[in-house]
Every structure is written in structure tokens, then in C-alpha cells.
Amino acid sequence: MTTLYIVRHGETTDNVEKIMQGQQHGTLTPAGIAQIEELAVSLSDTHFDAIVSSDLRRAYDSAQILARHLHLPVLTTTLLRERDWGDFTGLYIPDIKCMPLPDNVEKMNALLQRATSFLDWVKASYPDQTVLAVGHGIINKAIQAVHYRMLTRDIPKMMNAEYRILCLGKECRV
């Protein structure tokens, strides 16, 4: 059984400014760095076998901070990238709330398939290990939705530097 800790990256400048980041890299704020440093300290007594991260800079930088504390390398994967928001990328979120999704936004089925592929990859690559995965708000919701067989809208929003534990097997060693 594999234990998966999924983490949302620390606060970014675009989070503060309410900009739809999508698959842009983003930059951690000083508060975001502090959030991840605090998380690293709180997880320091937990044994991890691996750290994986989205290849987008805001997640990778968060993973690197965690890795320094946990003394592990970071492996990146595009499976953990945030949802591609197409033409909404870079826009002010309150301005697009009531607008229809552009055709070039990553479809929910594709996002859920990517989440499924990520979970399958983790189980196959890290059997009976504990993995820390640093991703983004929407992909992390999709991973949880697939794991729990729920709708993404029924998964609570993850705050910056928040983590959740998924047991990819019969019992969890937490």
C-alpha cells in the first residue's frame, strides 16, 4: 500500500492578485515561501521515500523547499500540472466568473484522466512507500475526486501549502 501526501504549492503573486495562473509558472511570494517552510517543519517527523512535483515553477520551488528539509531529491512530472485554462490564463478571476469556458480550456474528462494516470504511476513506481506530491489546486482536487470516486465540486478547496493524505491501498500508515 502506498501512502500519498498531496500538497498545494505556496502562495504566489498571481494568487494574491487573483489572476488565473493555469499552466504559467508563477512566483512564490515571501508569505508562500514561509508557508512551505512551516509545512516542511510540520512534516519533518514523517518518513518520505520520494518527492514528486509538477514541473511548473511555483510547485517545483515549493517542492525544493520541502526537499531541503526532508533530504530528498525532487522528481518532476507533467501529470501534476495545473489545469490548462486556455484563453482564461492570465485573466483577473472575478472578471471571468460568469463567462462561458473557452473551447481551449482543458476538458474535465482529460483532467480526470491525467489524475488517474498520476495515481496509477505513483502506485506502480512507489509500491508500499510514502510519497510527497506537490501540485496545484485543481489537479489536486481531481486526484482526490478520482481516488474517492467523487465529483471535483464535492472536494473541498485546498489552501496554499495545505496537504491531504491518500491511502492507495487497504490501510494507511500515517
- Active-site residue numbers? 9, 82
- Which residues does residue 50 pair with via DSSP β-bridges, in sequence order? 131
Please return the burial class of 103, using the count of CB atoms within 10 Å of its CB with bins 0-12, 13-18 and 19+: exposed
CA angle 154, 89, 14 (to 5 degrees): 80
Angstrom CA distances, 103 to 7, 108, 151, stand at: 29, 12, 22
- Which residues does residue 130 pair with via DSSP β-bridges, in sequence order? 3
Cell matching residue 61? 520551488
Alpha-helix runs per DSSP H in the chain:
13-17, 30-42, 57-70, 93-96, 108-125, 137-148
